[in-house]
Amino acid sequence: MKVTVIGAGILGASTAYHLALSGHEVTVIDQEHQGKATLAGAGIVCPWATKADEPEWYKMYAAGAAYYDALVSDLAARGESDVGYRKVGALVTAEDPAEYDAAGERLALRTAEAPESGGFEEISPAEAQQKFPPINPAYKAFWVPGGARVNARQLAPAMVRAAVALGATFRSDLATLELEGAKARVLDGQGREIPSDQIVVTAGAWASQILAPLGLSHPVKPQRGQILHFGMKGADTSRWSVLLPMASHYLLAFDDSRVVVGATREDGKGFDYRVTCEGQHEVLSAALRYAPGLADSTLLETRIGFRPAPPEFRPILGPVPGIEGLILGNGLGAAGLTIGPFAGRQLARVATGEAPEVTLAPYAPAA
């Protein structure tokens, strides 16, 4: 089967990799837009703490975390060992006592059903500071050993390279859709058709532009996120835990003495690729509130990404009704780096006629 995947972010890269694993003829085409969410996002894998309580959505979220170990092992077996994934544990805290207690109740229920979480325990402020030294010294926290971080700038290209090694083709190019009767066709930037039995659109915030020529109104809009990177000169940050303050912000560290704090959630900004004073102020204020130990760090950079934000925070996954050979994967929003690899595996199964491992009915594209 010939399958074209449009968009090589975390979801498209995973879709292409799993299709290639199954022996299909895969073409991945990506326009490499400035502001791709995958390249800007700070990947935290700890779904057990989320406030989201819709059962099917949480099931997908948790399955995304559970799949990482197998994915990382499979990629390593194919020579892709440096994928930016590491279990460093997660610190879950909250300033409001009632919210803190609610977080503990959620963790107790969810980690009991998820052995990959490693369980959880409440730890003292001093113990929390050992695991994330800049943390506010007043914060006690719940410690989840299975919490992880992932660098999507490493993982997504690794999956694309693995797909190419299995026979897939990667093209940096524009993709355009058109209809031939009831069937979708895909054209490259020179107007040449890319022969496809199935087309999977995983183009994130840019999907609306790709689907528009088919007369489809796509509800996913770009949501701008500004994410700040701090340098901690001389600090070994490689094993620092993720910090989840149960607010709209998060903190995590990477290997190169770097701490990342995010992120703004700015709707209605379109594709305005700018660092703003308001955005800087918001994230800096959160950073110093939750981690005053960052006060003397160096502000290295601000990354901007446009999340594909769906209505009601519900992703869109599955065949497009009324159009033959067109599958849509989009709207993972801020959960993209947790769910993306697992969701891509499901899209690959749908494209080849296999049943997905979880029900995708709640996420079906609208007719």
Pairing relation of β-strands 90-92 and 242-244? parallel
On the question of pLDDT at 137 being above 90, the answer is yes
Token digits of residue 353: 């006629």
Model confidence pLDDT, tens digit, residues 199-250: 999 999 999 999 999 999 889 999 999 999 999 999 999 999 999 998 879 9
Amino acid at 67: Y
Domains belonging to the chain, first-starting first, are 2-39+153-220+312-363 (3.50.50.60), 86-145+221-309 (3.30.9.10)
Give CA 156 to chain center in angstroms: 10
Q: What is the pLDDT of residue 53?
A: 83
Please state the rounded mean pLDDT for residues 177-201: 96
* pLDDT value, residue 248: 78
Give the single-character DSSP code of 355: P
Q: Pick from 40, 351, 13: which is nearest to 197 by CA?
A: 351
166 C-beta neighbours (distance < 10 Å), count:
17
The predicted pLDDT at position 324 comes to: 96
85 vs 68, 110, 132, 280, 337, CA distance in Å? 9, 22, 18, 27, 11
Q: pLDDT value at position 217?
A: 86
Residue 367 has pLDDT above 80, yes or no: no
Output the DSSP codes for 115-169: GGGT--EEE-HHHHHHHSTTS-TT--EEEETT-EEE-HHHHHHHHHHHHHHTT-E
CB-based contacts of 99, cutoff 8 Å, min separation 6: 246
How many angstroms separate the Cα of 20 from the Cα of each of 59, 239, 348, 349?
A: 26, 34, 9, 11
What is the distance between the alpha carbons of residues 26 and 195, in angstroms, rounded to a whole number? 10
- The per-residue DSSP string of 252-271 comes to EEETTTEEEEE---BTT-TT
Instruction: Give me the phi and psi of 183, to 5 degrees please.
Output: -105, 140
3-state secondary structure of 94: coil
pLDDT bracket for residue 328 (50, 70, 90): very high
Summary mean pLDDT of the chain? 95
Residues 6+ apart with CB under 8 A from 135: 91, 128, 129, 141, 243, 290, 291, 293
- pLDDT of 330-357, one tens digit each? 999 888 999 999 999 999 999 999 999 9
